[in-house]
Structure 1
Amino acid sequence: MKYKMFTWADTKLYLIVIGLSVLIIAFFQPIFAFIMGIILAYLVYYNSKKIEEKNKELARYVEGLSQNFDSAAKHAIFNMPFPMVFIDNEGKITWYNTPFLTLLGEEEIVNKSISELVDDFNLTELLKKKENESVSIKYMDKYFQVYPNFLEDKKTSGKRKITVLYWVDDTDYVVLRNEHIREKTVVALVDVDNYDDVKNSTPDIHRPIVLAEIDQLINSYFGEYQGIVRKYENDKYMVILNQGGLEAIKSKNFDLMDQVRDMSMGNIIPITLSIGVCQAGETLLDSYENASAAIDIALGRGGDQAVINVGNTFDFYGGKSKAVEKRNKVKARVIGDALRQLIDQNERVFVMGHQNPDMDSIGSSVGIMRAITNRKKEGFIVLNGENPSIRNLMERMRKDSPDMLKSIITGNEASEIMDEKSLLIVLDNHKPSLTEAPELLELTQKVVVIDHHRRGAEFINNPVLTYLEPYASSTAELVTEVLTYMGDETNLTKFEAEALLAGITVDTKNFSFQTGVRTFEAASVLKRAGADTTIVKQLFRDDFSTFVNKAEVIKSSKIIFDRIAIGRLEKQMEDSILIAAQAANELLNINDVEASFVLSQLDEKIHISGRSLGGISVQLILEKLGGGGHLTSAGAQVEKASMKEAEKLLTDIIDKYLKEGEKR
């Protein structure tokens, strides 16, 4: 404690004035001045004594006050009603009060690490906190807000830091908050994906039983979790339940979908559900709208899955089964007519695929350019550079279609000439961050999305037209269909037909995966337009080094979990992604291998190509790494990780996926 001592400065001025007065009097009255001098000397002596006495009195007062304060502080610390503990910079306990000892229930805790005594205690996280910035800790059945106060022990060498921790019991608040969260209203929407197909394929005698059983299963399932179910269309249900019920359903991975799929009441085909849930809406209306957005995503990803809207992100459950094709030509005709009108309304049309474009991306772009040319509009393909996947096709373009080559521009060039009146068509992708030039999405409000991948959480904002069909084999197939409905004649050239057929071929792995009736119909249209399958096959030829590198990947691959192959392309090269994709395809030819993953170095990222025979969803696995794709073909990129770290991360995700599958 700081205090001010009494000094001569307090009376100095008065004594000086008296002294000067004595000198002046001495000039006129020496005797009187002598008497005054004696008096002045006495005053100086008396003043010094008084100053000394006052300072001693003040010192005694301050010492007494300090002793009283120390006594009060010690009494307050020892009798503090909540736990308090001192720890050093290594987390070892140096002092504690009685409530803290009672909390731990230990007898000897001095010099013990607090992290060992309290499992939830994170010393590293605590030391990052500011003075009196609390950290939440759970111990036993209680919740605490722990407030740190940082001191320095100057008595020890190196000024060892001492941290005082005040434990404030927050249990009542946390329990009340959790209870409030559990009782929060949640809105869920349930759709029977293939209601019409099930109804039409079920014999008349069994049909009422099947439809009634669907109702009964949905009502009884949500009723078990205190939910209210209302059927508002033949194949649509609205469910109101609380957060606690939803958490219980999540813990069972929405097993309602499995129960309905396994239902056998005379129906010929399995029944699948799509579920959209919102748990982040502020009002019931918000919750309903967000649940609608969630179920749109579930349907866009192929159905047979649940999607939970948790605010800025989505959680996915299910989606491990192959989507049943339910496209119809009416929709393709409507999309074709709408796209024709949009092209007619704009003078300039820009076509953009995804980064590191493949045959499907560039082939469908070529097909859309034919639609733009048919409407006599100016069109551009946005392409920032070639890669080995499309090099052969680009060489063919230079030879057979030089006019189209002139329409290829970079993203920067497109930015300079694009305006709000321009139309942008995004193909083979629906994620803004993966487009060839994401900045173009901000330059126009007229965006069309045509894609065949299962919809992810990230999606282009407010497109004017969306044709997202996860049941299609490829975007080239969708574009071929749309072209047939945009006019009486497609006017496809031989090169354009072969580019589209190449797109279908690469995504179906030579018509062996994700291939439906509509796929062959699209191929027949292209064949009639002059596509030569021999030339298309030549577009996929590789040089000798590619074969060698692919063989090295296959040779060094390993089998994990008895049915999944993992390979690594250690060398970084221009065609790393192409080699990884082809190697992943080849690994599926090994007996008992159901899925394969190949990792390759891509600048400062690790690229992962995943392929599957259909029993394992590589899409769900790679979505955990921020990627996406299809049930049988997907990709992802891992940033700021070594090849070894990325493989370990992938292996852990695969392990978790397989264990969840066993639980189902």
Structure 2
Amino acid sequence: MSSPSHQVPTRAARQDPDAPLRVDLRIPFAACAVEGFLLLGLYTLLTYLKLPRLTLLGLVFLGVYALSVGVTFTAFAWRLSRSRRNIRTAELLTADIYRMFRSVMDIPYAVINGDNRVRVINAAMQSILGARSPVCDLPLSEICPAVTREQLLAALRNPGDGELPDLHSVPLPAGAEDGTGSVTVTLADGRRYRVEPYLLRQQADTYYLLLFRDVNDYLNFVEETDRNRVVLAYIVLDNLQELTQFVRANYRATANIIEETLTGWVASMHGMIREYDRDKYLALFSEEMLDRCVQDNFSILGKIMNIRVGDNTFPLSVSMGIADIDGSMEERDRAANAALDMALQRGGNQVALQRRGVTGLTYYGGTHKTLEGNTSISSRVSVHLLERRLAGCRNVLVMGHSNPDFDAIGAAVGASRLCRSILDAQGRTDVPVNIVTDKTCDTFRICAGHLAPLVLYGHIFVDAATARQLVCTETVLILVDVNNPVIFEAPDLYTCIPAVDGIHSIAVIDHHRLVGKLPFTPFLHYIETTKSSASEIVAEMLEQSPYADTLCKEEANVMLAGVMLDTHNFTRSAGAQTFEVAYYLYSRGAHTGTAREFFNERMDELQVASDFDAHARIYAGVFAITWLSADRAPSPDDRIAASKAADKLLSLRGVEASFALAVVGSGVAISGRSKGRINVQLILEKLDGGGHFDMAGAQVSGTVEEALDQLRAAIDEYRLQYPELFGKAK
């Protein structure tokens, strides 16, 4: 940017650059004329007064005038002589500078005409090109083929007749964000130059002066600095502690093997690694080494999974959060920590990478499920945080996802019971607790029918419009079974919750992987992807709290139905703690026989299931895909029917993952399921969907045929990304 004192010369000044050096003779002529008129006027006045000796006075006046005129013109003659000497010196210097710039200085230039043909070059460019004469006639593409006429016009330093290039600005090499649009080219000497074009006019012809500034050393320095930029990584062992609880193996010995593997990996990148807590490491290495890791898709994840604990066949895994961003080390530390949190919340066994110039996080790995951990302490801490937040609230809203299933409603019922019990224990029985849901869907009607004996549930359910009217500055919003704002029951409800000291009165309780960063900062962030369902998480929170005995039989049955839905009757994603939660719900009066009644089908539902069965197809050997007929009228319950159809397809021999498609609203809903070898969440993320390892969903626009094409493309991309999973299929 030019300095404030810099003024752009006018067009007249550009036409006569020596004008400031010339002497204006009008000034002495005007001064002498004024002096002559003054003396003549004075002499006339003296004559009118008839003073004596007028002749003598006239001679004195005439002598004074002659003397002053002589002095004035002598001074201006001397200044004119000095000005002429300066002009001559400037002309000689200009000629010398031109000769030096053309023959001596090592700044190459070329003059091209309007047809992009080079007409004149200087000695520096002659040396680079090996040309014998400074006058030539060759196309510009022979010197620098990367430069186009459009680029030259966009990068002109003096695009208008009334403008000159800003000589106070220091040009940056290409790649720097200076906004000049300049182009960097490689000339015949192998060095890189930045092209700076200037407009020249010779009578009616237009020419361009191209200055080639050597930026090779600068760019090498920048690239070397980028390659050696420090990358910060946080690494944690996902499941070693849990695995050693079930096998006869020495924890420390196994941890040492993993540490040696990680140390060798970092040492191969000429970095450093330190253990700062149990099973937690900090690593530093260069950006160049990070690029190498990206190219091999972080093969270290596979090496860790090849380590076995005792005779256990479940693989070990690590999660990493890596930050390669601009800014201070403190900012990189925060970014790496945030990336690690995302990797863990997405199920672990993966790398979350934050890179400069890239929006959002990039994920690698996540091809295997991680072992369920013991979350009893997390549940107790979460209940404690909830108690503290509810102490100052005026009302509570519990909300799940749109088109709710039994798990969303079951988790919401459990969360509302927990909040109601906390508020009653605090003596705040007048604080209302409401569940935000779609009261028109069939799933809600089934759950509401089973909850009808409880007076509390006669008025607890509200729709999205009513919920917006209930929001105030002291409202606490609890989100269950959902973390993607796009599919909230009331997508804009969270925007009504104000933040205090940067923290919103919002809790997130979910078992789905985070698709991206939340648009708010919750006071409670309890996402446990190893859990089978949101109902399991909420039930465990109730069990580990002082309010375990407040859960009613009807509520327990709804929550058990939610667990049974997402575990497919305890046959998928059910861990040890899932059965512990089921035991707790049984102790509160729930029974699988009662919960099974939630899943009784109507005749039209059976017909929809038959339609799904009729369209089932096998794709790529291990994928089963089905869809509903396009000519049937869509139903709000088709999304749930698609989930059931995807579950059913997993029973086919040889099928590892399944997808069911149904028209819902203006788009197509896709429900994905997996037996545990293929990560359907990673596949549907490519369609802006989400979920977790073996259960995910997405919604795309367009027709069913277009959605099928997008799904197949996402599957193909996943197969190319993880070919090791499909070796047998090939």
1:649 aligns with 2:690: no
Q: How far apart are the structure 1 equivalents of 2:214 and 2:439?
A: 58
**Structure 1 residue 402, shift from structure 2 partner:** 5.5
Q: How far apart are the structure 2 equivalents of 1:545 and 1:139?
A: 70
**Equivalent residues of 2:661, 2:668 under 8 A apart:** yes
1:410 aligns with 2:463: yes
Find the partner of 1:523 among 570, 582, 600.
582
In the other structure, the counterpart of 1:629 is 691
Q: How far apart are the structure 2 equivalents of 1:529 and 1:403?
A: 18
Cα distance change of structure 1 residues 369 and 575 upon mapping to structure 2, 3 Å threshold: same
In the other structure, the counterpart of 2:492 is 439
Cα distance change of structure 1 residues 81 and 213 upon mapping to structure 2, 3 Å threshold: farther
Matched residue type, 2:340: I
1:564 aligns with 2:623: yes
Any idea what the Cα deviations from partners look like across 1:589-648, whole Å, max 9, x if unmatched?
211111111222223322211011111110111112221112111001223x43333222
Find the partner of 1:483 among 520, 528, 542.
542
Q: How far apart are the structure 1 equivalents of 2:248 and 2:595?
A: 45
**Equivalent residues of 1:337, 1:485 under 8 A apart:** no
**Structure 1 residue 139, shift from structure 2 partner:** 11
Any idea what the Cα deviations from partners look like across 1:474-507, whole Å, max 9, x if unmatched?
1111111222333355333332111111111111
Q: How far apart are the structure 1 equivalents of 2:276 and 2:507?
A: 32
**Structure 1 residue 101, shift from structure 2 partner:** 4.9
1:72-221 pair list within 5 angstroms: 73=113, 77-79=117-119, 98-101=139-142, 172=216, 178-197=223-242, 209-221=253-265
**Structure 1 residue 510, shift from structure 2 partner:** 0.9
Cα distance change of structure 1 residues 97 and 512 upon mapping to structure 2, 3 Å threshold: farther
Matched residue type, 1:495: E
**Equivalent residues of 2:112, 2:140 under 8 A apart:** no
**Structure 1 residue 255, shift from structure 2 partner:** 1.0
SS at match of 2:590: coil
Find the partner of 1:316 among 363, 366, 378.
363
Find the partner of 2:404 among 338, 351, 357.
357
1:498 aligns with 2:557: yes
Cα distance change of structure 1 residues 74 and 246 upon mapping to structure 2, 3 Å threshold: closer
- Percent of aligned pairs with the same residue? 28
- What's the TM-score, normalizing by structure 1? 0.74
**Equivalent residues of 1:134, 1:145 under 8 A apart:** no
In the other structure, the counterpart of 1:263 is 307
1:618 aligns with 2:680: yes
1:380 aligns with 2:434: yes
Matched residue type, 1:530: G
Matched residue type, 2:119: N
Any idea what the Cα deviations from partners look like across 1:437-471, whole Å, max 9, x if unmatched?
23322333211111111233232522112222112
SS at match of 1:438: coil
Q: How far apart are the structure 1 equivalents of 2:112 and 2:194?
A: 25
**Structure 1 residue 583, shift from structure 2 partner:** 1.3
**Structure 1 residue 169, shift from structure 2 partner:** 10
Matched residue type, 2:302: D
SS at match of 2:610: helix
Matched residue type, 1:434: I
Q: How far apart are the structure 1 equivalents of 2:289 and 2:490?
A: 43
Find the partner of 2:417 among 355, 365, 370.
370
Q: How far apart are the structure 1 equivalents of 2:377 and 2:290?
A: 38
Q: How far apart are the structure 2 equivalents of 1:628 and 1:81?
A: 61
Cα distance change of structure 1 residues 198 and 100 upon mapping to structure 2, 3 Å threshold: same
Cα distance change of structure 1 residues 484 and 347 upon mapping to structure 2, 3 Å threshold: farther
**Equivalent residues of 1:81, 1:99 under 8 A apart:** no
Q: How far apart are the structure 1 equivalents of 2:473 and 2:723?
A: 51
1:605 aligns with 2:667: yes
Cα distance change of structure 1 residues 130 and 403 upon mapping to structure 2, 3 Å threshold: farther
Q: How far apart are the structure 2 equivalents of 1:147 and 1:542?
A: 75
Q: How far apart are the structure 1 equivalents of 2:669 and 2:214?
A: 46
Matched residue type, 1:407: I
Q: How far apart are the structure 2 equivalents of 1:474 and 1:72?
A: 71
Matched residue type, 1:600: A
Any idea what the Cα deviations from partners look like across 1:132-178, whole Å, max 9, x if unmatched?
89698999999999999xxxxxxxxxxxxxxx9x9999995876655
Cα distance change of structure 1 residues 416 and 170 upon mapping to structure 2, 3 Å threshold: farther
**Structure 1 residue 426, shift from structure 2 partner:** 0.9
**Equivalent residues of 1:556, 1:568 under 8 A apart:** yes
Moved more, 572-581 or 217-226: 572-581
**Structure 1 residue 281, shift from structure 2 partner:** 4.1
Matched residue type, 1:653: A
Q: How far apart are the structure 2 equivalents of 1:145 and 1:606?
A: 51
5+ unaligned residues in a row in structure 1: which ranges? Answer: 1-70, 83-95, 105-117, 149-163
Cα distance change of structure 1 residues 459 and 261 upon mapping to structure 2, 3 Å threshold: same
1:420 aligns with 2:473: yes
**Equivalent residues of 1:298, 1:307 under 8 A apart:** yes
Cα distance change of structure 1 residues 138 and 468 upon mapping to structure 2, 3 Å threshold: farther
**Equivalent residues of 1:352, 1:427 under 8 A apart:** yes
Q: How far apart are the structure 1 equivalents of 2:311 and 2:282?
A: 24
Q: How far apart are the structure 2 equivalents of 1:485 and 1:566?
A: 41
In the other structure, the counterpart of 1:32 is none
Moved more, 625-634 or 543-552: 543-552
**Structure 1 residue 361, shift from structure 2 partner:** 0.7
**Structure 1 residue 209, shift from structure 2 partner:** 4.4
Q: How far apart are the structure 2 equivalents of 1:343 and 1:259?
A: 46
Q: How far apart are the structure 2 equivalents of 1:251 and 1:79?
A: 46
Any idea what the Cα deviations from partners look like across 1:57-78, whole Å, max 9, x if unmatched?
xxxxxxxxxxxxxx99469844
**Structure 1 residue 99, shift from structure 2 partner:** 3.1
Q: How far apart are the structure 1 equivalents of 2:651 and 2:335?
A: 43
SS at match of 1:457: coil
Matched residue type, 2:628: L
Cα distance change of structure 1 residues 246 and 513 upon mapping to structure 2, 3 Å threshold: same
**Equivalent residues of 1:210, 1:266 under 8 A apart:** no
Matched residue type, 1:340: E
Q: How far apart are the structure 2 equivalents of 1:182 and 1:653?
A: 33
Moved more, 248-257 or 176-185: 176-185
**Structure 1 residue 384, shift from structure 2 partner:** 4.1
In the other structure, the counterpart of 1:37 is none
1:232 aligns with 2:282: no
**Equivalent residues of 2:117, 2:140 under 8 A apart:** no
1:658 aligns with 2:719: yes
Q: How far apart are the structure 2 equivalents of 1:537 and 1:188?
A: 47
Cα distance change of structure 1 residues 352 and 169 upon mapping to structure 2, 3 Å threshold: farther
Q: How far apart are the structure 2 equivalents of 1:261 and 1:187?
A: 23
1:467 aligns with 2:529: no
**Equivalent residues of 1:612, 1:618 under 8 A apart:** yes
In the other structure, the counterpart of 1:152 is none
**Structure 1 residue 528, shift from structure 2 partner:** 2.6
**Equivalent residues of 1:209, 1:265 under 8 A apart:** no
Q: Between Structure 1 and Structure 2, how many residues are aligned?
A: 545
1:290 aligns with 2:312: no
Cα distance change of structure 1 residues 461 and 78 upon mapping to structure 2, 3 Å threshold: same
**Equivalent residues of 2:112, 2:118 under 8 A apart:** no
**Equivalent residues of 1:210, 1:267 under 8 A apart:** no
Cα distance change of structure 1 residues 370 and 147 upon mapping to structure 2, 3 Å threshold: farther
- What's the TM-score, normalizing by structure 2? 0.67
Matched residue type, 2:558: A
Q: How far apart are the structure 2 equivalents of 1:494 and 1:266?
A: 43
Cα distance change of structure 1 residues 200 and 308 upon mapping to structure 2, 3 Å threshold: same
Q: How far apart are the structure 1 equivalents of 2:507 and 2:309?
A: 43
